Structure 1
Amino acid sequence: MYIFRWNLKKISLWALLLSQVCLLLIFFYVQLIPSEQESNGRISFLRSSEDTEEVRNTYHTLDSNIILKTVKTRQSYVDFNSSLCFINGTDLSSMKYAKGINWRCQCLPGWHGNDCGQPEVLWRALLTSRKPFKIRGPRTFERRLIYIFKVDKFSEFVTDIRIYELGAIVDLFILYEDDTSDYLRQKLDNNFCKEHQNKILYLKDDGETVWKKVRWYLKNLRNDDIILSSSANEIPNKDALIFLKFHDHWPQPIKFRFRWSVFGFFWIHPFRTITGGGACTMSFLKESFSNKLKLLTDNKTLSSPLYKGLTLGDLNHYGGWFCEYCNDPAQVVEFIASKPKNIIDWDKIEHGKIDKNYIEDLIENGLYIDGKSELKKSRRYQDNYFAPKYVIEHDWKYDFLMVNFYSKLDYYEG
């Protein structure tokens, strides 16, 4: 009886071991057999979960199925008694300290409104306009924001800044390049702005029909979604765009008065500002501009009596940054050479030639491209609008735009 029990136990152990071996063999056999779709001579690889995420995190083309997400605004606000306060614009520390007696939102410097949701640049624009706008908010759901602009090899650095500065609030970047160029596509294929490629739609276009091409591919556009467009050198104010996403009844169209930086954020053009870009809702673009995006960025638009628009920005509080010739000197020379000759007043240039040494001298001495107009100095630690927030927080990445390396004084100060 004892021997029988011992043999039964031994047999059971051997059977269990044999079954495990069989399961392992079956598993490896199934993994090695190619599927019908992969049996055409191509090699297939097993991907880990990290590899799968890597593949998914890529830019879109017109073949993509793009569906814009719907996000509640509530996550950007906090309740204090009966007050609903915008988190980014509210002094949360002081309000939490006096929570029992605090019935109104206490705004941080540069923020206004009952909910502390109006950034300085927008608040000042509303005061200046002296028009009875009845802006309401916050909305239940954010407006989706679509940003369209052209990219070429001369605007790479500003494009990088725009996408990283606005990546958290823009729902879709539509980037296009000339039909004859392949520069942007190659950059994207090499992980340009990798962290935000899932929000980038790439296409080639002449600029005239880009929106006409795209709007049919966006599956769930809403009339209250925002369309934003600007030139290659413009970086809109992030806080102002957040306000437009969260509120209703703001005047349309929106234009931007940009701070005019030259060669980097350390020099300002003597005119100091330049007006450009444009934003409006989808319904406004359709009803007022017949879906012609070019009319939105035409500076004559806001001056027309037909529209009760608003310009964001003044001489002290800017609607964003216009960074002209923000490249290394060699690229500035190449950029100018690629443009028509009438872009420069050659009579104002002493030797009649623009080369790398000429550009370096301009940067060092604070002179505009004509070699005559004096630029104004801007200092990082004294100017609240020196550069976009992302640039300041990542100065190692954009050091040549932050510090004038051709000036010994600036170099050692930086």
Structure 2
Amino acid sequence: MGRSHLSVRIRIRRHKVFLLCLLGIFVISFLHYYKALHNISLLQELSSPSTHLKTLKLFSGIFWSFPATDFNSQNDIYKHSHLKAKLDSNVILTDPPDGTLHKHPFVLHDDSTPFFIQTKSGAVCYREGTDMDNSASHRRLLQHNNKKNTSKDNIINAGKKVVRCPCQQGWHGPHCGIPTIVYHSNLPSKSKVTPRKVPRRVINAININHEFDLLHARFHELADVVDVFLVCESNFTAYGETRPLYFLQMILNGTFDYIKHKILYIFLDHFPDGGRADGWIMDDYLRTYLTKNGMSRIQGLKLDDVFLINDADEIPVRDGILFLKLYDGWTEPVGIHMRKSLYGFYWKQFGTLNILSACTAAMLFKVYKNDGILLRRRSYYSMSGFREYENSTGRILLPWAIGSPVHYAGWHCSWCFKPEGIYYKLISAQNGDFPRWGDYGEKKNLNYIKELVRTGGWFDGSVPNYPPTDTEEHMYAPKYLLDNYNKYSYLLENPYAKEKHTKLT
């Protein structure tokens, strides 16, 4: 009898050990799977003192985070994702004590932001472009089964049954993810684009001299879209004179702490041969060095990631770049139609500035040879690798531009500084864009510069007849500047318009 009880106890112990082993394997496997999705090492996770707490939180969230939800239950997730973005933006990188900030790599991770939601009715909707409160309207739309809305501009995946979402004003397509500036663009494949399961990463490359207010506007406009900003600064002006590293100082003193975790600092410590005699050599070299140095320091790059290069005074609007991040099916290279202005957003110039600004990393490497200046030119079709790259994609590559001449997709604010900043740009300008007004003493007089700002005139003596503008008009200026009107008023309203004209001496 005793032996029978002992045998039973042994079997029970064995079952317990077996069950504990299974549970342990399950937990470790699940942790490995979950952390792999978030690019976190399993060993790193297991060695963390808060592992057990994280595991409890993880299991508590499994049962509500994965199933499809209806519009009414999305508010909590929406708030949670914004809280996460806010916490992420507070990450501050430590400054290297050895002065090697310009040598550090940048590791790209997948963007886990839930840009799209799936409803119980089966619709996949872009959260920001969808009318979340219009559930009744959504049900009515579903009943139509796409019978009345079959135009090629609105239907994605032609021939397939698509469950449509109720779009907010300014958003289009069955998923409500196509912004107006793409909907009214010349993109030939706009009716065939499809949402991605995993967003692309966006790399924005910029050279900086002293355009710091516009840089703040760019960072705030694109903070949740761009994954890394490649910002290049030199200790030489484009003319070849030495200059302090103002941007580096601002990084170190905390000015850009809100975006510092997304900045890859690039330091150009030399001036190219021949750049003083021919300023275009320096102008090209700035973008070449920016691209080659910056892209070589990025880890985790994927060939379909987006490379975007701008001058510091060219600020793309968020929604257009987000479209490139979230959708498949657009062609390349990509231009951007930008609203043009001079001295400030109050002197609006006619037409738009349309510059080729974006492509995939694959096209950057295979066609443009990892040189950003070549992207901005329009001779890509004659480059040695173009046909081979086009054949590898299986589609005809056609350039297109986000926006149109009447639908601005960004802002180009030329010479947009206070008079002292305009003076600094005059003396810093490269020796190639003739006439080089910084070579004329009278053009550098601050009173003369103030008069140019007051009238909207140019250094050659001309005074164009600019159309009237209003700060309330759509796309007048980047939202960050308008939200901080008093601080940036010199860019938003003519600071000398109400002053009496005095003869310059």
TM-score normalised by structure 1 residue count? 0.75
1:43 equivalent in structure 2:
none
Report the Cα offset of residue 392 of structure 1. Answer: 2.1
1:138 matched to 2:214: no
Q: Structure 1 unaligned segments of length 5 or more: list them.
A: 1-49, 410-414
Deviations 1:39-76 (A, max 9, x none): xxxxxxxxxxx9xx876366993543522121246444
1:56 equivalent in structure 2:
93
Equivalent position amino acid for 2:351 in 1:
R
Residues 1:283 and 1:199: Cα distance change in structure 2 (over 3 Å):
same
8 Å CA contact 1:260, 1:274 repeated in 2: yes
8 Å CA contact 1:261, 1:267 repeated in 2: yes
8 Å CA contact 1:258, 1:320 repeated in 2: yes
SS of the equivalent of 2:248 reads helix
Residues of 2 paired with 1:298 and 1:80: CA distance?
47
1:109 equivalent in structure 2:
169
Report the Cα offset of residue 152 of structure 1. Answer: 0.8
**Alignment counterpart, residue 208 of structure 2, candidates 151, 171, 174:** 151
2:228 equivalent in structure 1:
172
SS of the equivalent of 1:396 reads coil
Residues of 1 paired with 2:92 and 2:169: CA distance?
43
1:189 matched to 2:252: yes
Deviations 1:150-187 (A, max 9, x none): 0112x122112111211111100110112434222112
Equivalent position amino acid for 2:252 in 1:
D
Equivalent position amino acid for 1:365 in 2:
T
SS of the equivalent of 1:256 reads strand
SS of the equivalent of 2:298 reads coil
8 Å CA contact 2:403, 2:409 repeated in 1: yes
SS of the equivalent of 1:169 reads coil
1:298 matched to 2:338: no
Residues of 2 paired with 1:167 and 1:363: CA distance?
31
Within 5 Å, which residues of 2 pair with 1:279-358? 279-301=358-380, 307-339=397-429, 343=433, 353-358=443-448
Equivalent position amino acid for 1:150 in 2:
N
Residues 1:134 and 1:272: Cα distance change in structure 2 (over 3 Å):
closer
8 Å CA contact 1:147, 1:227 repeated in 2: yes
1:389 matched to 2:479: yes
Residues of 2 paired with 1:275 and 1:364: CA distance?
27
1:364 equivalent in structure 2:
454
1:162 equivalent in structure 2:
218
Residues of 2 paired with 1:101 and 1:273: CA distance?
40
Residues of 2 paired with 1:321 and 1:294: CA distance?
20
8 Å CA contact 2:105, 2:297 repeated in 1: yes
Residues 1:237 and 1:302: Cα distance change in structure 2 (over 3 Å):
farther
1:45 equivalent in structure 2:
none
2:469 equivalent in structure 1:
378
8 Å CA contact 1:73, 1:140 repeated in 2: no
SS of the equivalent of 1:377 reads coil
Report the Cα offset of residue 369 of structure 1. Answer: 4.1
8 Å CA contact 2:95, 2:101 repeated in 1: no
Equivalent position amino acid for 2:170 in 1:
G
Residues of 2 paired with 1:273 and 1:302: CA distance?
24
8 Å CA contact 2:115, 2:126 repeated in 1: no
1:71 matched to 2:111: yes
Residues of 2 paired with 1:326 and 1:157: CA distance?
9
Equivalent position amino acid for 1:335 in 2:
K
1:244 equivalent in structure 2:
324
- Aligned identity (percent) is 27
Residues 1:368 and 1:134: Cα distance change in structure 2 (over 3 Å):
same
Equivalent position amino acid for 1:198 in 2:
H
Q: What is the total number of aligned residue pairs between the two structures?
A: 349
8 Å CA contact 2:130, 2:167 repeated in 1: yes
Residues of 2 paired with 1:299 and 1:146: CA distance?
21
Report the Cα offset of residue 334 of structure 1. Answer: 2.5
Equivalent position amino acid for 2:337 in 1:
R
Report the Cα offset of residue 389 of structure 1. Answer: 2.2
Residues 1:287 and 1:302: Cα distance change in structure 2 (over 3 Å):
closer
SS of the equivalent of 1:101 reads helix
SS of the equivalent of 1:337 reads helix
1:230 equivalent in structure 2:
310
Residues of 1 paired with 2:109 and 2:377: CA distance?
30
2:135 equivalent in structure 1:
96
Residues 1:57 and 1:368: Cα distance change in structure 2 (over 3 Å):
farther
Residues 1:369 and 1:77: Cα distance change in structure 2 (over 3 Å):
farther
8 Å CA contact 1:302, 1:310 repeated in 2: no
1:81 equivalent in structure 2:
121
8 Å CA contact 2:92, 2:257 repeated in 1: no
Report the Cα offset of residue 340 of structure 1. Answer: 5.4
Deviations 1:343-387 (A, max 9, x none): 46599xx99634222222222223344331233332111x21101
Deviations 1:289-346 (A, max 9, x none): 2222221122444899974111123221112111111100121122123335774659
8 Å CA contact 1:368, 1:374 repeated in 2: no
Q: Structure 2 unaligned segments of length 5 or more: list them.
A: 1-86, 143-163, 237-242, 269-284, 388-396, 500-505
2:262 equivalent in structure 1:
199
Residues 1:141 and 1:342: Cα distance change in structure 2 (over 3 Å):
closer
Residues 1:334 and 1:212: Cα distance change in structure 2 (over 3 Å):
closer
SS of the equivalent of 2:367 reads helix
SS of the equivalent of 1:56 reads coil
Residues of 2 paired with 1:351 and 1:366: CA distance?
20
Equivalent position amino acid for 1:312 in 2:
I
SS of the equivalent of 2:194 reads coil
Residues 1:88 and 1:75: Cα distance change in structure 2 (over 3 Å):
closer
Larger mean CA deviation between 197-206 and 358-367 belongs to 358-367
Equivalent position amino acid for 1:110 in 2:
G
2:178 equivalent in structure 1:
118
